[in-house]
Structure 1
Amino acid sequence: MTTEQVEPGRDVWPRDVEAAAAGMLHERAVAEGAVGDRLREVWEEEPGFKGFLTTVNHKRIGRRYLVTAGFFFMLAGIQALVMRTQLGSPNNGVVSAETYNQLFSLHGTAMIFFFATPMNSGFGNFFLPLMVGTRDMAFPRLNALSYWIFLFSGLFMFASLPLGMAPDAGWFAYVPLSDRFSSTHGLEFYALGLLFLAVSSTVGSINLIVTALKMRAPGMTLARVPVFVWAIVTQSFMLLFALPPLDVANVMLFMDLRFHTQFFVESGGGDTILWQHLFWLFGHPDVYIIVLPAMGIISSVIPTFARRPIAAYSFVVLATVATGIISFGVWVHHMFAVGLSDVAQSFFAAATLTISLPAGIQMFAWLATMWRGRVVVTTALLYAVGFIVTFVIGGVTGVMFAVVPFDQQVTDSYFVVAHFHYVLFGGAVMPMLAGLFYWWPKMTGRSLHEKAGMWSFAVVFVGFNLTFFPMHLAGLLGMPRRIYTYDDGLGWTVWNVLSTAGSYVLGAGFLLTLGVFVESLLRQRWAPDDPWGGNTLEWATASPPEDYNFPVVPTVHSLNPLWDEQSLPSMVEHRHDGVRTMTDKHEALRTSELDARVEGPMAMPSDTPVPLWLALALTLSVVFLMAGWYVASAVAFGLVAAIAAYWMWDRPDVEEIEEEAG
C-alpha cells in the first residue's frame, strides 16, 4: 500500500484507497494460507436452530444486540408517534390520559434502558475484540448470558403494555407519584424489569473490561488502543459504579409497593428526595454511558474519511476518561428545584459547567482532523457531522441549566424535553447510524447504496430538527412536560404542529434507512475486506469476519495498524508460530494489561446452552415474583443457583486443554 508522510514524526495513511479496497487484503490472504481450514474446523459452530440457541460467538451476539435493540427502538418510536399525534392539536382525544401516561413512561424507559445502552453494547460486542486483535471475548458464555437476559428483560417490560399494567409515572418514576398515585403493578414491572436488566449490564461490562485489558494483540500498548475501545471501557466502568444506586432504589420501591415498607413515605420516616438522589446518581452518568461510546464511533469514522489520524489522540482519551469521572459529580443539577441549599447547588452548578470542557476537547479534535485531512463525503461521515451539529446545540442548552435561576424557570417544561432529545437522540442515534453505515460492510460482507443512504440522512436530519427544535420555544412559552393535552389560545399550537409534522418526517427517514439496509441484504453486493481504507484492526479481517477473526494474531506497531506498513506484515511473519496461530485448540491469546506482552494461549469455551438455561431460570424467578408466587420464585432462583454451579463445574474445553498442557 502506498503511503505518504503527514508531518515528521506523525503516522501515515494510505494514498490509494481504491487499491486498499480492491478485495482481500494481501497480508491476510498470505497469513490465512493453510491455517484457515484448520481454524474453521476448530472454531466451527453448531448449524441451524441449535447453533442459534447455543452460540457464544461475540459477532453473532453483537448482531443480536443490534437487532434486538433496534426492535425495541421501533416499538418506542411507534409510541412516540402516537404521543405526538395526541399533542398535534389542542384538546385532542387520540388516547386517554391513562394510556398517554403509560406510553410516555414506557417510551422513555425503553429508549434509555432497552435501546441506547444495549445498542452500544452491540457495537462493543462485535468490534471491541476485532479492534484489539483477539478472537473472542474474555468470557464468551457470560457474553451469551448478558444477551439472553437483555432480551428476556425487554420482553418482560414490554409485556406490561398489552396487559394494561405498563409503568405510568415516567421513566424516572419519581415518588410519591410512583408509590402512591400510580398503577401499583405498572411500577412493579418497572422496578423488577430494571433490576433484571441490571444483571445483563453488569456481567456485560465486566466482560468488556477484561477483554480490553487482557486480550489485546501484542504491541498494543495503552497508547495504541483505539478511542472507541477507550470509550467502551470507560462506559463499562461507569455502569459498574452507576448501577448499584439504581438497583438499591428499585429494591426499595418494590418493597414499598409490595410489602408496604416506608423507604420513600415521609409519614413513616422515609424520604421522597432520597429516590431522586439514588436515581440521578445513576441517571446523569447514564447520559454519558450512552454518549461516550457514540463519541467513540465518531472517533473511528472521522479519521477514516478524513484520511488522517485523529488529532490530539492523547487529549481525546483523557477527555473520554475525565467525562466518565466528572459525570458522577453532576447529578444534583437535575434537582435544582427541589429546595436544596444554595451552597450545594453552587458546587453542582460548577461541576455542570466543568463537564462541558472534555466534550469540547473532542469536538475540536474532530474538527481539526477534518480540517487538516482530505475529506471523503460518505453517508457515515454525514451522520458524524450531523451528530456534531446536534450535540453542540444540546450541549449549549445543557450549559444553560447550570445557571440555577434559569434552570428553576424552565424545570418541567418542554425546553428540558428538547435539550434531552438533542443530547440523547442527536448524541446517540446519529452516531449509531454513522456506525451502522461505516461498519455494515464488515458486519454483513455487503455494500450499501451510498446515494440512498445520503438521502436517508437528509430526511432524518431535517425530521429530527423539525421535531425537537420547536420544543425549545414551546417550553419558553410555558408548555409543561408530561401533559397529554392543552387548551387552544396558549401560543403552543403552532410549535406542536411543527413537532408533530417533524415526527412523521423523522419516521419516514427511519423507514428509508431501514430500506437501505434491506436493499443491501437482498442485492448482495459483496464488500471487500477494507472498503474504506480504514486504520484499525477490524478492517484486517474478512468481510464478514471468520469465526476465529484473525488467522494469525498480529503485532501492533502504531495507533493506526493498517496504515503503518508493519502491523499487517507481522501476520505473515508469524504464520508459522503456533502461539500466534493456535490451530490445535479453541484458544485465544492472553497478554499483559499495560504493555500487551504475550503471556500465552487461553482456553475458550465452545457452544453451550447453559447461558440460555440460566437466563430462562432467572426469567421465571422474576415472573413468579411479579405474580406474587413467592415459593415458586424461590424454587426458580434455586434453579438459577444450580445451573450456575453446573456452569462453573462443567468446563470441558478448559479441562481438556489444561490436561494436555499438564
Structure 2
Amino acid sequence: MSATSDRSMKQMDRVAFRREPDFGRVPQGSEDEKRLREIWEGESGWRGFITTVDHKKIGLRYIVTAFVFLLIGGVEALLMRLQLARPNETLLTPDQYAQLFTMHGVTMIFLYALPVLSGFANFLWPLMLGSRDMAFPRLNALSYWVFLFAGVFLYCSFPFGQAPNAGWFNYVPLSSLEYSRGPNIDVYSLGMVLLGISTTVGAVNFVVTLFRMRAVGMSVDRLPIIVWGTLTVSFANLLAVPAVSLAFFLLWMDRNIGTHFFDVAADGRPLLWQHLFWMFAHPWVYVVVLPAMGIVSDALPTFSRRPLVAYAAVAMSTVATMIIGFEVWIHHMFATGIAPLALAFFGAASVLITIPSAVAVFAWIATIWMGRPVFTVPFLYFASFVLMFVIGGVSGVMTAAVPLDWQLNETYFVVAHLHYVLLGINVFPVFGGITYWFPKFTGRLMNETIGKIAFWIVFVGFNLGFFPMHISGLLGMPRRIYTYPDGMGWDTSNLITTIGSFLLGIGVLVFAVNALVSARRGKIAPSNPWDAPGLEWSLPSPPPPYNFAVLPIVESRHPMWEDRLQRSGRRSSLEEGYLLHQGRESLGVHPFTGKPDVILKMPDDAWSPFFLGLFTALTFLGMLLRSPSMTLAAFAASGATLIAWMWPRRSLAQREPPKPEQTTPARSAKKRDALPVGSAGEHSGGWWGVLALVVTEASLFGYLIFAYFYSQSQTQLAWPPEGMPKIGIGAMSTAVLILSSVFAWLSERTLRKSRTRPAFWLMVIAILLGCLFVGIQMKEWHDHAYGVSAHLYGSLYYTITGFHLAHVLVGIVILVLLATWIALGYFDAERNAPMRIGGLYWHFVDVVWLFIFTSLYVTPFWLRGH
C-alpha cells in the first residue's frame, strides 16, 4: 500500500471518531424523545436497583439513607437524654453510655450531615448545570455503595456491645490498646478509613463534573451557590480527608501491628493524633455547612421574589470561609499547652473567619428585606436557619478568645455550640430543601399544613433542647459525663434539654411521615410549582431519565426569570440546543473556557460499582477479624473488579462509525464544529479525575511527612536512633524510578506517532525499572537492623516507605495493563487517553519519592554532618 493511501486510511479512521453535533429541537412525545428515554432508562426491579448509575436515583438514595441514619442517631440521643434527665440516673451503664455517645456523634457527623448534602448535590448538579449526568456515573454509584457498607460496618458491632466507645474524637491514649482491648476502636478506625474512600471518590466526581459537564454558557459567575459550596467542600475533602484516614490507620497499626506512633512509652506523641484529627475535623465543620448555606442561598430568593443580594460576595465568602477554616484547627487545642504565639495567631484567625460568614448573613437578610417574602414551609426553614447560624456562630466566636476557651473548652457550652453549627445549620436547610425540591424528587408536593406543624415543632424542640446546654456549660457541667450528683445546679437545664430533645424527635417524625405520605398521595406538581428561577425548574417534575432532551445554552444566572429581570438582551436557549442521541451521550466542555470540547460516551448501568464496594468492605472486615486469607482474597477480588471496570470494551479495529439517526428531529441550519467522540479532547475526563486523585494522594504523603518531622522535633533521642538509611542506595533507587518515568513518557510520546511496537517495548522497560526499584526497596528493608515495631523511627520509616511502595506496585499494575492494551491494539495516535492518565499517576509516584528521599535520606545525613 502506498504512503498516500496509508495516510488516507488514517484520516478516515480519525474522522470516524469525530462528529458534528446536530443542533435543534426534540418535541415532547416525539419518536426521538421516546428513543432517548429508552436509551437512558435503566432496568427495573432488583437488578436495576443494584446496577443503576442514574445520578437522580443515587442522589435520592443518599438522602433516604442519610435520613435513616439521622433517625438512628436521634434515638441514640434520646436514650442519652433520658440518662441525663435526672441526677444519679442508672438507665445506662457507663460503657453503654460511652458507646451511645460515640456512635451518636459518628452517625450525625459522618453518616448523616455530609451524605445528605451529597444526596442533594448528586441529584441537582446535572440539572442545575445543564448536563445529562455526573462526570463519572459509575464512580458516583461506587461512592454510595461504599458509604452504605461503611455505615453497616460501623454498626455491625453495636448488637454485640462492642461499638466504638472513645468519643467521636477518639483521643489517644484512651483509644490505645492499653485502655481499650476490645474490637471497639478497630471497628471505628477501619470504618472511618472506608468512609474516607467514599468521601474522596465523591469529591473527585464533583470536581470533574464542574470542570467538564457544564452547559455551554454556564460561566463561573452563573453557577448556583450550592454548586460553589459543594465544589469548595469537595476540594477541602481532597485535602482534609487523608489526614483523618491516616490518623485512624496509624492508630489501627499501633493496636494491631505494634507500631508506636501514639505510644508515650516508646516516645510516641498523643498530640500527633490531635493535630491530624483537627486538621481534618475543623474544615469538616464547614464541609457540612457550606452546601447547606448554598441550599439557602439558591432557594431563599425564590420565596423572596428577587435574586440573591450580593451574589459575587456570597460566592467568594464561601471559598474564603473554607480557606480560613484550614488555618484554625489549633483552636481545638488551646488547652494542650502550645506556645503563646500560636495561641495568639490561631485565636486571631478564628475571629477572622466571622467576616465571610457575616457577608452571607447580611446577604440573606437583605434578600428577605428587599423582596416580597412568601411564607411557605421552605421559607420558614430557610429564615430560621439564619437565626440558627447567628446563634451558633456567635457562641463559636466566644471560644476564639483563649482565656474564655480555657474556661468553656470541656463544658456543655461547647456541646451546645456544636449542635447549633453541625445540626441546626444543617437540619433546617435540609428540611427546607427537601420540601422545596420534593416536586423534583417525586413529582408531588408535600402537604403545606402538616409541613408548618412539623416546622414549628422542630423549631421549638431544637431551641428548647440545645439552648439550655449553654446554661449548663456556664454552670460548669463537663462534657462526656454519663451521670451527675444531685445539688450541682444542673437539674433544671438538663430536664428542659431532655424535654426539648423529645419534642424535636416528634417534629422530625412528623416531617418524615409527611414526606412518605406525600410521595404517594401528595398533590401532583407542575414543572415549576414555586415559580423558581433555576435551570432545574425548566424540566418536568420529576425529570426524565436523560434530564435534557437537548442540551441547553445558558445566558444568565436565572434562566426562568430572564423575561422579568431584563426586557432585552440575549436569552437562554432551553428548548433548542445540542442534539446528542446516538447512545448515552453528553457534552463535555473545556474546563476553563466552557466551550464544547468533546461528545462524551456515558457508561451504561453496571454491576462493577456494587461489587467493588462490597469487596472493599469485605477487605476491611478481614482486617477487623485479623484474617489474612480473607483480607487477601477480598483485596484480590477488588483488584480484579477494578481491572474489569477499566478494561476497554472494544479494540480499535472493532470500533464502528456512528450509526445514522433513525428519525430526524427539527434541526437548526447552524453549523457546529466537529467534536471528538468518547474520552478525548485536550484532556479527557479521566485525566482530570486522576489529577484530583493525585491531589488527595499528595495530601496523604504530606501528612505522613508532617508526622515524621513533628515526631523528630518533639523527641529528645537521637534521630535516627540507629541504622541511618544509606544515602547511596537511596540515590540509586531514585535514579531507577526517575528513569522508569522517562521511559513511560517516551512510550506515550512514541504512541502519538502511531509507532505501536516501539511504544510497547518502551513501556516494558519502564515496567522492568519499576520492578527493579521494588527489589532495591525490599533489599534495603531486609538489611535494616530494626523493624516496624522496634521504635517510633522504625514505625515512621517503614510506614512512609511502605505507603510509597504500595503506590509503586499499583503503578506497575497500571503500566502492565497499558502495555497489554498497546499490544492488543486498543490505542493509536488519536485514542491514547489512558496512556496520559496512567503516565500522570506514575510520574506522581516518582515525584513523591523525591520528597521521601529528601526527608528520610538526605535530611538525616545533612544533620549528622552538621
TM-score by length of 1: 0.93
Contact 2:27–2:33 (CA under 8 A) maintained in structure 1? no
| CA distance, structure 1, for counterparts of residue 375 and residue 211 of structure 2 | 35
Match of 1:451 in 2: 449
1:250 aligned counterpart, secondary structure: helix
| CA distance, structure 1, for counterparts of residue 407 and residue 572 of structure 2 | 61
1:338 to 336, 339, 343: 336
Contact 2:457–2:507 (CA under 8 A) maintained in structure 1? yes
1:634 aligned counterpart, secondary structure: helix
Match of 2:552 in 1: 554
- Once the two structures are TM-superposed, the CA of residue 651 in structure 1 deviates from its matched residue by 3.8
Contact 1:69–1:115 (CA under 8 A) maintained in structure 2? yes
2:599 aligned counterpart, secondary structure: strand
| CA distance, structure 1, for counterparts of residue 493 and residue 459 of structure 2 | 18
Match of 2:155 in 1: 158
1:571 to 569, 574, 585: 574
Alignment root-mean-square deviation, CA: 1.8
2:175 aligned counterpart, secondary structure: helix
Contact 2:129–2:214 (CA under 8 A) maintained in structure 1? yes
Contact 1:448–1:520 (CA under 8 A) maintained in structure 2? yes
Query: Structure 1's 205 and 656: CA in aligned 2 closer, same or farther, altered over 3 A?
Result: farther
2:300 to 299, 302, 306: 302
Contact 1:120–1:294 (CA under 8 A) maintained in structure 2? yes
Q: Is 2:57 aligned against 1:60?
A: yes
| CA distance, structure 2, for counterparts of residue 236 and residue 655 of structure 1 | 39
1:17-96 matches, within 5 Å, as 30=27, 33-96=30-93
- Once the two structures are TM-superposed, the CA of residue 217 in structure 1 deviates from its matched residue by 0.5
Match of 2:204 in 1: 206
Contact 2:150–2:617 (CA under 8 A) maintained in structure 1? yes
Cα deviation code 1:415-440 (max 9, x no counterpart): 00001001111111111111101100
1:263-274 matches, within 5 Å, as 263-274=261-272
Cα deviation code 1:519-547 (max 9, x no counterpart): 20231421111100111111111111111
Query: Structure 1's 659 and 614: CA in aligned 2 closer, same or farther, altered over 3 A?
Result: farther
| CA distance, structure 1, for counterparts of residue 570 and residue 168 of structure 2 | 47
| CA distance, structure 1, for counterparts of residue 30 and residue 654 of structure 2 | 27
- Once the two structures are TM-superposed, the CA of residue 182 in structure 1 deviates from its matched residue by 2.9
Cα deviation code 1:216-263 (max 9, x no counterpart): 100111111111111110010000000111111011100111122111
Q: Which amino acid aligns with 1:545?
A: P
Q: Is 2:590 aligned against 1:592?
A: yes
Contact 1:605–1:653 (CA under 8 A) maintained in structure 2? no
1:589 aligned counterpart, secondary structure: strand
Contact 2:25–2:576 (CA under 8 A) maintained in structure 1? no
- Once the two structures are TM-superposed, the CA of residue 595 in structure 1 deviates from its matched residue by 3.4
What percent identity do the matched residue pairs reach?
Answer: 47
1:168 to 145, 165, 172: 165
| CA distance, structure 1, for counterparts of residue 654 and residue 116 of structure 2 | 36
Unaligned runs of 5+ in 1: 1-26, 575-579
Q: Which amino acid aligns with 1:535?
A: P
Q: Which amino acid aligns with 2:639?
A: A
Match of 1:108 in 2: 105
Query: Structure 1's 581 and 348: CA in aligned 2 closer, same or farther, altered over 3 A?
Result: same
Cα deviation code 1:143-187 (max 9, x no counterpart): 010000000000010111112110100000000111132354111
- Once the two structures are TM-superposed, the CA of residue 600 in structure 1 deviates from its matched residue by 3.1
Query: Structure 1's 220 and 182: CA in aligned 2 closer, same or farther, altered over 3 A?
Result: same
1:532 aligned counterpart, secondary structure: coil
Contact 1:168–1:183 (CA under 8 A) maintained in structure 2? no
Query: Structure 1's 174 and 632: CA in aligned 2 closer, same or farther, altered over 3 A?
Result: same
2:242 aligned counterpart, secondary structure: helix
- Once the two structures are TM-superposed, the CA of residue 573 in structure 1 deviates from its matched residue by 3.3
Contact 2:121–2:230 (CA under 8 A) maintained in structure 1? yes
| CA distance, structure 2, for counterparts of residue 509 and residue 197 of structure 1 | 29
| CA distance, structure 1, for counterparts of residue 338 and residue 512 of structure 2 | 47
Q: Which amino acid aligns with 1:636?
A: A
Contact 1:603–1:657 (CA under 8 A) maintained in structure 2? no
Contact 1:143–1:207 (CA under 8 A) maintained in structure 2? yes
Match of 2:640 in 1: 642
Match of 2:433 in 1: 435
TM-score by length of 2: 0.71
Q: Which amino acid aligns with 1:85?
A: L
1:261-410 matches, within 5 Å, as 261-410=259-408
- Once the two structures are TM-superposed, the CA of residue 642 in structure 1 deviates from its matched residue by 1.0
| CA distance, structure 1, for counterparts of residue 456 and residue 522 of structure 2 | 25
- Once the two structures are TM-superposed, the CA of residue 48 in structure 1 deviates from its matched residue by 1.1
- Once the two structures are TM-superposed, the CA of residue 308 in structure 1 deviates from its matched residue by 0.7
Contact 1:32–1:552 (CA under 8 A) maintained in structure 2? no
Query: Structure 1's 131 and 569: CA in aligned 2 closer, same or farther, altered over 3 A?
Result: closer
| CA distance, structure 1, for counterparts of residue 654 and residue 202 of structure 2 | 26
Match of 2:716 in 1: none
2:277 aligned counterpart, secondary structure: helix
Contact 1:165–1:183 (CA under 8 A) maintained in structure 2? no
1:370 aligned counterpart, secondary structure: helix
| CA distance, structure 2, for counterparts of residue 135 and residue 183 of structure 1 | 50
| CA distance, structure 1, for counterparts of residue 384 and residue 516 of structure 2 | 23
| CA distance, structure 1, for counterparts of residue 656 and residue 561 of structure 2 | 38
Cα deviation code 1:368-421 (max 9, x no counterpart): 111111111111111111111011001001000110000000111000000100
- Once the two structures are TM-superposed, the CA of residue 571 in structure 1 deviates from its matched residue by 3.0
1:573 aligned counterpart, secondary structure: strand
Q: Which has the higher contact order (CA 8 A, sep 6+)?
A: 1
Cα deviation code 1:469-510 (max 9, x no counterpart): 111011111100100000010000000000000011001101
1:460 to 433, 448, 458: 458
Cα deviation code 1:194-214 (max 9, x no counterpart): 000111111110001111111
2:559 aligned counterpart, secondary structure: coil
Contact 2:145–2:610 (CA under 8 A) maintained in structure 1? yes
Unaligned runs of 5+ in 2: 1-23, 564-568, 659-676, 678-829, 831-866
| CA distance, structure 2, for counterparts of residue 287 and residue 569 of structure 1 | 37
Match of 2:123 in 1: 126
More displaced stretch, 593-602 vs 551-560: 593-602
Contact 1:305–1:375 (CA under 8 A) maintained in structure 2? yes
Match of 1:7 in 2: none
| CA distance, structure 1, for counterparts of residue 652 and residue 574 of structure 2 | 26
Query: Structure 1's 85 and 373: CA in aligned 2 closer, same or farther, altered over 3 A?
Result: same
| CA distance, structure 1, for counterparts of residue 314 and residue 451 of structure 2 | 29
Cα deviation code 1:337-356 (max 9, x no counterpart): 01101100111001100111
Q: Which amino acid aligns with 1:38?
A: R
- Once the two structures are TM-superposed, the CA of residue 652 in structure 1 deviates from its matched residue by 6.3
- Once the two structures are TM-superposed, the CA of residue 658 in structure 1 deviates from its matched residue by 7.3
Match of 1:178 in 2: 175
Q: Which amino acid aligns with 2:143?
A: S
| CA distance, structure 1, for counterparts of residue 651 and residue 325 of structure 2 | 42
Aligned length: 631
Q: Which amino acid aligns with 1:91?
A: N
| CA distance, structure 2, for counterparts of residue 370 and residue 28 of structure 1 | 38
Query: Structure 1's 416 and 183: CA in aligned 2 closer, same or farther, altered over 3 A?
Result: farther
Query: Structure 1's 364 and 634: CA in aligned 2 closer, same or farther, altered over 3 A?
Result: same
Match of 2:610 in 1: 612
Query: Structure 1's 482 and 653: CA in aligned 2 closer, same or farther, altered over 3 A?
Result: farther
Query: Structure 1's 470 and 598: CA in aligned 2 closer, same or farther, altered over 3 A?
Result: same
Larger Rg, first or second structure (1 or 2): 2
1:177 aligned counterpart, secondary structure: coil
Match of 1:533 in 2: 531
- Once the two structures are TM-superposed, the CA of residue 44 in structure 1 deviates from its matched residue by 1.9
| CA distance, structure 2, for counterparts of residue 75 and residue 377 of structure 1 | 31
